[in-house]
Amino acid sequence: MSAASILQTQVIAVCPITGVSVGDVADRTTWRVDYDPSATQPQRDAAANVVATFDLATAVTNETQRLAGISADTDLIDMWNRLHSATNTQIKNYVNNNSTADAGTKLILAKILLLLARG
């Protein structure tokens, strides 16, 4: 993950934004947060605090540990392998038989799973 994507994840937790830009990682004056128009001043202040206190080394370490935990999750690995080995019909049938959502939502879910399985 890039510094900008890690920072964006942390800023989104406290403030609605449309994006983050990190020009030079070593120069915070090149960093920019693009606020969503709905962001209140307290939310903007909280976002500014996140940027001011952002520690890239710690953030990268935490993200690396998070990803390592995901890759070591045997249930997730099994699910991923079953998804990749399933046929399109099997995926559609699974969604239709195991989801209580409306037909439109089921269709979207099936398409997302098909994209993941084939992507």
pLDDT tens per residue, range 1-46: 688 888 999 999 999 999 999 999 889 899 999 999 999 999 999 9
What is the model's pLDDT at position 1?
Answer: 67
What is the model's pLDDT at position 79?
Answer: 84
pTM greater than 0.95:
no
The structural domains of the chain, with segments of one domain joined by +, span 3-69, 74-118
- d(C-alpha 43, C-alpha 75), whole Å: 37
pLDDT tens per residue, range 78-89: 888 888 898 989
Instruction: Examine the pLDDT at 66 and tell me if it is beyond 90.
Output: no
